[in-house]
Amino acid sequence: MGEVRLQGIGVSRGVGIGTAVVLKEEELKIEHILVEDEEKERKRFEAAVSTLKQKNQELSEQLSESVGEKDGQIILAHNAVLEDPEIIEPILKMIQEFRVNAEAAVEEVFNKAIQTMSSLEDDRMKERVSDLEDVKQGLLRLLLNIGEMDFSKINQNTILVTKELSPHVSAMLDGDKIAGIITQRGGPTSHAAIISKAMEIPAVVGVEDAVELIPEGEFVVMDGENGTVILNPEEKTRKSFERRKKKVQAEKESLKEYIGLNSISKDGVLFEVQANAGSLQDTKRAMEQDAQGIGLYRTEFLFMNRDTIPSEEEQFTAYKEAVVCMEGRPLVIRTLDAGGDKPVEALGLKEESNPFLGYRAIRYCIQNPEVFTVQIRAILRASAFGPIKILIPFITCLEEFEETKKLIDEEMIRLIMQDIPFDARIPVGIMMETPSAVMMADILAKYADFFSIGTNDLTQYTMAVDRGNSKVSDLYSVYYPSVIRAMKRIIEEGDKNKIPVAMCGEAASDPYFIPVLMGMGLREFSVIPSEVLKVRGLIRKWTIPEAEALCQEVMKQKRVEKVKELLEKAKKI
């Protein structure tokens, strides 16, 4: 057999070379039995639920430790399924009222829910399907007494091939042994993509029929950037992949040179490259990568997957630990940005028909000062331990910012009365991520201490395109002239009013776009920790006049394709 080429979507950069280990899901055989003792059956089911919850908790802690807290949270989302009355109650009903055995009841109820979810168009719902599949498998394995897959025997240089990388499997992976991951399902925002990226393992998802087409033990080369997978490669192909792998590794190694260096343009203008974080683990990574601060600390993760909101003490400890970890480098803490694509069950929010346009982020906080002021106090108290700035998300009008400032001032007064130390000059900035804020940038800049551009949402709201919907993902690009104009206006108004402007959305780490941002006058970038050195390296390749010339050319373009062409031509990657 000659070499065979398969194509998928590259979601985690890097070249993988190794031997395929194919995870085939065993068909679990479920018998339908009429049970005699329904009480006993109910207890058996409840025991399986509680064991699985316990296991999820442990796996989540393991994953938080090895990959990151955000990733650990993915597994905890499974416990929400195990507490969902719409799932659990019908199962109990089948067992208790119809004396169906637990396995059959689990299978039927889960399959029904999976069928309903799969028929929906929404990508986030599709992600939920994989959660449901994973929980179903977990429960059935426990009820049938079938053990977990044994990963300890996996050899070095394994290319893992699976229908879908469940969070359970990913928690058991040994990042040193896995040379690549290939999955049949999933897109750029799937668990497989997020986890492989965080573990820095090359990954290709969406390879049709991968599990059937790739034989166990086959020699495979794969490219996690362009999505190519080649089975049984010819000598020439193998050599070229080996060369590329070495090149990628050398690049990664060479980035270490930038540790301890300034983020400075070729002609000597100073920049700041900071990191985005959502946990203490991330702040530690940011320090390892020599980030010049945390430009965005997302506080949502502290509030997610739990029944109650975190107390002032718990929040204070988290913020204090983060700022202490940064050893004097600034920490920008964003206040609770709940809602939209960030569910926070503990807030008990009702479902809305337009969640991205609804009761979320600062809108929720202003209307619920009993929740918001706890967070404000915790942040203010932490500011006694290092340089902290407060960032307010999803601002659309001046009134919201004024109301927020009023609440902050009131908490400051309370702290003074109680003799509790804090930084009274703590800067308060605005997350520029709605078209309304962009239109108001000239006015908002007179009230805010700094701006931070959230390109993820700014693109979504400017282009009126749901950031999670793959059907319209072509429109979700920062290269559209409208989005580019929006960014430029924010930076210009910031400059005019002499307040710093940073960018913390994904566009800040786009190697093609960085020179354009430099040319617009952006001087602060905040990116995921693993990209910090790459961004610093790129900044050092451009002079300001070069970047300005490119920016001017880009600003003249009317169409997204032309912008892409220009950036492709100009790149210095």
Per-residue burial over 455-488, b = 16 or more CB atoms within 10 Å of its CB, e = otherwise: bbbbbbbbbebbbbeeeebeebebbbbebbebbb
- Residue 279 contact among Mg ion, ligand PEP, none, beta carbon within 5 to 8 Å by kind: none
Of 199 and 458, which has the nearer Cβ to ligand PEP?
Answer: 458
Place of tokens 């080429």: 5
* Contact between 300 and Mg ion per CB under 5 A: no
Of 169 and 277, which has the nearer Cβ to ligand PEP?
Answer: 277
Which residues in this chain contact ligand PEP in the complex, by CB under 6 A? 296, 298, 337, 433, 454-457, 504-505
Sheet holding 158-162, edge to edge: 4-7, 228-231, 219-223, 15-23, 158-162, 178-183, 203-205, 9-12
In the bound complex, what is the minimum distance in angstroms from residue 525's beta carbon to ligand PEP? Answer: 12
**Alpha-carbon distance values, 273 to 251, 373, 389, 495, 504 (Å):** 19, 31, 16, 19, 10
Q: How many residues does the chain have?
A: 573
For 119-191, list the strands marked E by DSSP.
158-162, 178-183
- Is residue 504 part of the annotated active site? The answer reads yes
- Residue 504 contact among Mg ion, ligand PEP, none, beta carbon within 5 to 8 Å by kind: ligand PEP
In the bound complex, what is the minimum distance in angstroms from residue 274's beta carbon to Mg ion? Answer: 17
- Residue 505 contact among ligand PEP, Mg ion, none, beta carbon within 5 to 8 Å by kind: ligand PEP
* Contact between 339 and Mg ion per CB under 5 A: no
* Contact between 123 and Mg ion per CB under 5 A: no
Of 325, 365, 504, 551, which residue is the catalytic one? 504
Q: Are the C-beta atoms of 508 and 528 separated by less than 8 Å?
A: no
In the bound complex, what is the minimum distance in angstroms from residue 497's beta carbon to ligand PEP? Answer: 22
For residues 268, 270, 275, 276, the Cα torsion angle rounded to the nearest 10 degrees is -120
DSSP state of 147: P
State which of positions 378-437 bind Mg ion (CB under 5 A).
433
Interatomic CA distance for residues 420 and 370, integer angstroms: 20
Side chain identity at residue 406, one-letter code: K
Interatomic CA distance for residues 383 and 214, integer angstroms: 54
Say how far residue 515 (Cα) sits from the centre of its chain: 24
Of 272 and 337, which has the nearer Cβ to ligand PEP?
Answer: 337
In the bound complex, what is the minimum distance in angstroms from residue 352's beta carbon to ligand PEP? Answer: 17
Of 143 and 296, which has the nearer Cβ to ligand PEP?
Answer: 296
In the bound complex, what is the minimum distance in angstroms from residue 475's beta carbon to ligand PEP? Answer: 16
DSSP state of 509: G
- Residue 298 contact among ligand PEP, Mg ion, none, beta carbon within 5 to 8 Å by kind: ligand PEP
**Residue of 164, 290, 411, 457 interacting with Mg ion (CB under 5 A):** 457
Instruction: Give me the residue whose beta carbon is nearest to Mg ion.
Output: 457
H or E element in which residue 285 lies: helix 280-288
State which of positions 436-455 bind Mg ion (CB under 5 A).
454
Of 60 and 460, which has the nearer Cβ to Mg ion?
Answer: 460
Of 158 and 276, which has the nearer Cβ to Mg ion?
Answer: 276
Q: Are the C-beta atoms of 57 and 79 separated by less than 8 Å?
A: yes
In the bound complex, what is the minimum distance in angstroms from residue 296's beta carbon to ligand PEP? Answer: 6
- Residue 224 contact among Mg ion, ligand PEP, none, beta carbon within 5 to 8 Å by kind: none
Interatomic CA distance for residues 461 and 481, integer angstroms: 14
Of 78, 168, 191, 551, which residue is the catalytic one? 191
Of 179 and 361, which has the nearer Cβ to ligand PEP?
Answer: 361
- Residue 546 contact among Mg ion, ligand PEP, none, beta carbon within 5 to 8 Å by kind: none
* Contact between 103 and Mg ion per CB under 5 A: no
Interatomic CA distance for residues 272 and 471, integer angstroms: 36
Task: Identify which of 457, 450, 533 has the alpha carbon closest to the alpha carbon of residue 274.
Answer: 533
In the bound complex, what is the minimum distance in angstroms from residue 442's beta carbon to ligand PEP? Answer: 21
Say how far residue 458 (Cα) sits from the centre of its chain: 17
* Phi and psi angles of residue 563, each rounded to the nearest 5 degrees, phi first: -60, -45
Of 220 and 508, which has the nearer Cβ to ligand PEP?
Answer: 508
* Contact between 290 and Mg ion per CB under 5 A: no
- Residue 455 contact among Mg ion, ligand PEP, none, beta carbon within 5 to 8 Å by kind: ligand PEP
Please list the active-site residues: 191, 504
**Interacting residues with Mg ion (CB under 5 A):** 433, 454, 457
